């Protein structure tokens, strides 16, 4: 079984649109959306959930008013100003609480509970392209890296149980914790970039990240014709580092037209961009060592 992660150094490069097309073209796979903070692959694949699980991670302080004697030590000790005295006694502001447990430790009345924090949901779903594992953190929640690892574990277990050959992942943009977690154990990272200064800059950052973790790395230059000189510069950078450039895709409004219809571009009648994406997927599969 192989694992391929489609990533990008920044948002807005077209990564998810291309991942959706590759999900359509790939055979015998589990689809996995690892962008747990702002997922959008479900907008294209329209999954039907068959399993919905709560995700708990970290802890959050809660004051039991029945046991609290109002001494105020917890508020004095909290460096995040998460505990305030109100009309009904001392209370914890969950948006400020960092889960450090100082208040729990110093409370003389043992009135502060410290349960696990409910941070979001993760799902196992069915799509028209096959099974999908995905999630949604609540706004502002942390521990996205841990949730990414959970999704990868579930996707790999599902692939093994169903005898599937591939886990195809739509990674998060950037180089933060969810991206680092998504690269763990993968066989190939394919970075989608665009011919802009920020596209080049962030491509270099994510390339350095993959090199640090010794992950095989390849590049797709999307919308190359918007700035051919910048695209040529990105190609030269890749050549100097021996990164395969799998495709230079033109800007094509047909991709937006497919999205409006709730489809991926390769589902539409034959188009040049669709044919190029089929050739691109064949190159990805070969580079990742997929057979058949």
What number is the average pLDDT over the span 181-198?
Answer: 95
For 65-87, write each residue's pLDDT tens digit.
999 999 999 999 999 999 999 88
Q: CB–CB of 52/121 below 8 Å?
A: yes
Residues contacting residue 114 through CB under 8 Å, at least 6 positions apart: 59, 60, 61, 62, 99, 101, 104
Domains of the chain as residue ranges with CATH? 2-56+120-288 (3.40.50.300), 61-114 (3.30.70.20)
pLDDT at position 95 is: 84
pLDDT at position 292 is: 52
Whether 110 has a pLDDT exceeding 70, the answer reads: yes
Which residue has 């907008």 as its token pair? 43
Whether 242 has a pLDDT exceeding 90, the answer reads: yes
Query: pLDDT exceeding 90 applies to what percent of the chain?
Result: 85
Q: CB–CB of 170/21 below 8 Å?
A: no
What number is the average pLDDT over the span 8-24?
Answer: 92
Q: What element of type H or E holds 203? A: helix 197-212
| Opening angle at CA 71, ends 69 and 72, nearest 5 | 125
Q: Transcribe 94-137 into DSSP letters.
A: TTT-----HHHHH-TT--EE-PEEEEEEEEEEEETTEEEEEEEE
Model confidence pTM above 0.75: yes
Q: CB–CB of 48/99 below 8 Å?
A: no
């Amino acid at each position: 079984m192989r694992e391929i992660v489609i990533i990008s150094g920044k948002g807005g490069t077209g990564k998810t649109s291309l991942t959706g097309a590759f999900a359509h073209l790939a055979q015998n796979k589990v689809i996995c959306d690892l962008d747990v903070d702002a997922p959008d692959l479900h907008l294209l694949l329209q999954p039907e959930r068959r399993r919905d699980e709560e995700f708990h991670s970290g802890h959050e302080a809660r004051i039991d008013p029945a046991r609290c004697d109002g001494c105020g030590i917890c508020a004095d000790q909290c460096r995040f100003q998460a505990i305030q005295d109100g009309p009904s006694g001392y209370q914890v502001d969950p948006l400020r609480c960092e889960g450090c447990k100082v208040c729990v430790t110093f409370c003389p009345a043992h009135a502060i509970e410290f349960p696990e924090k409910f941070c979001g949901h993760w799902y196992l779903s069915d799509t028209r392209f096959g099974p999908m594992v995905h999630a949604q953190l609540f706004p502002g929640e942390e521990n996205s890296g841990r949730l990414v690892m959970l999704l990868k574990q579930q996707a790999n277990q599902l692939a093994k149980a169903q005898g599937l050959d591939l886990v195809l992942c739509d990674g998060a943009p950037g180089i933060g914790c969810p991206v680092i977690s998504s690269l763990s154990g993968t066989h190939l990272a394919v970075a989608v970039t665009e011919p802009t200064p920020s596209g080049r800059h962030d491509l270099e950052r994510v390339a350095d990240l993959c090199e640090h973790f010794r992950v095989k790395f390849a590049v797709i230059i999307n919308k190359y014709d918007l700035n051919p000189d910048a695209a040529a510069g990105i190609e030269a950078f890749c050549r100097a580092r021996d990164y395969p450039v799998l495709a230079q895709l033109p800007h094509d409004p047909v991709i937006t037209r497919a999205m409006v219809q709730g489809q991926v571009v390769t589902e539409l009648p034959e188009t040049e961009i669709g044919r190029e994406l089929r050739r691109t997927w064949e190159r990805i599969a070969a580079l990742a060592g997929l057979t058949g």
